[in-house]
Amino acid sequence: MQNTRIILNQRPLGTPTSECWKIETMAVPEIAEGEVLVKTKYISIDPAMRGWMNDSKSYIKPVELGDTMRALAIAEVVASKNPKYHVGEFVSTATGVQEYAISEGKDFVKVDPKIFPLPAYLGTLGMSGLTAYFGLLDTGQPKEGETVVVSGAAGAVGSVVGQIAKIKGCKVVGIAGGQDKCDYVVNQLGFDACIDYKAGNLRKNLKEVCADGVDVYFDNVGGEILDTVLTLINKKARIVICGAISQYNATKPEGPKNYLSLLVNRARMEGIVVFDNAARYGEAAKEMAGWILEGKLNANFQVEKGGIKAFPETLMKLFAGENTGKMVLEVDA
């Protein structure tokens, strides 16, 4: 049995190029006592992956050169010498970008394809959804009737943020790239409005729909969009810094030049990392699963084809904004 994997071959300067990756195929070794062999079904494609490729201090260690690229995945148990896991079961685990992985199962979370489609466990019920849940509720602290603005509104995290804010009784305005995404966000996800930042006049359009100002801004993109929203925040607003996809491939990152709006408005800008809430993942996932089953939360995802070798171009699609909902790479249907 052969395992194909994608190795980090070179650190990118700016946008990752094909030189960053090496594809390697090798035999899958035998598993030892206590180990499990899993076959990757779906790989989670995340903006955070770009950060893991850098050799800099962050909330998690960088991927080492020569190592399998880090990735969360849904995998199927295909061999087991561990009494806790049985052939045919599905688990959520960080296999990395490879077809097979061997593990003692310590980070495994069993998932059931009969309840939700497998990609949902990487999206709304996975790290993306948990990031949205804790980032919005704990850090954003939206109150009923407040206006919540979300960038990357059609993305894996943003789409969940906006839907949870609606469940909590807020007015929800998305920002997304392109009219199709905006229509999707309003018609399929139930946001009150969504502004296409690519159409120009972002500030004017946003101001018009946020007639009472912005109380919570959940930022996934950074750059000019963050700067624009900063000019529209209310007193005591909360800005959740979840990501900055506009900056990850920038060689000269830009800071929010309107940050003094925080002073004028006694507002707060706070960064979040979902891992800090690990003890409460179960509780949050259970609540979100309930919302999905009640039809209040659309667990949207987008499946990319091409198998493990398609990983490099799939990641670039994410940075080009070519997804609505969680993007996953199908490794084995």
- Residue with Cβ nearer its own copies (29 or 271): 271
- Residue with Cβ nearer its own copies (176 or 272): 272
Residues whose CB falls within 8 Å of the CB of residue 286, separated by 6 or more in sequence, listed in order: none
Q: What separation in angstroms does the CA of 23 have from each of 5, 17, 171, 322?
A: 6, 14, 47, 24
Min. distance of Cβ 49 from its own copies in angstroms? 15
C-alpha 197/C-alpha 63 separation (Å) is 33
- Residue with Cβ nearer its own copies (110 or 268): 268
The residue ranges that bind its own copies (CB under 8 A) are 57-59, 222, 227, 241-244, 247, 252-273, 276
- Residue with Cβ nearer its own copies (188 or 258): 258
Min. distance of Cβ 166 from its own copies in angstroms? 25
Min. distance of Cβ 279 from its own copies in angstroms? 15
Q: Are 15 and 58 in contact (CB under 8 A)?
A: no
Q: Are 178 and 323 in contact (CB under 8 A)?
A: no
Q: Are 16 and 248 in contact (CB under 8 A)?
A: no
Min. distance of Cβ 247 from its own copies in angstroms? 7
CB-count burial class (<10 Å; 0-12, 13-18, 19+) for 187: exposed
Nearest to 297 by CA among 159, 156, 116, 105: 159
- Residue with Cβ nearer its own copies (259 or 319): 259
Min. distance of Cβ 139 from its own copies in angstroms? 9
Count the Cβ atoms, other than its own, within 10 Å of residue 213: 15
- Residue with Cβ nearer its own copies (268 or 309): 268
Min. distance of Cβ 212 from its own copies in angstroms? 15
C-alpha 181/C-alpha 196 separation (Å) is 8
Min. distance of Cβ 18 from its own copies in angstroms? 26
- Residue with Cβ nearer its own copies (145 or 255): 255
Min. distance of Cβ 148 from its own copies in angstroms? 19
C-alpha 11/C-alpha 307 separation (Å) is 23
- Residue with Cβ nearer its own copies (241 or 331): 241
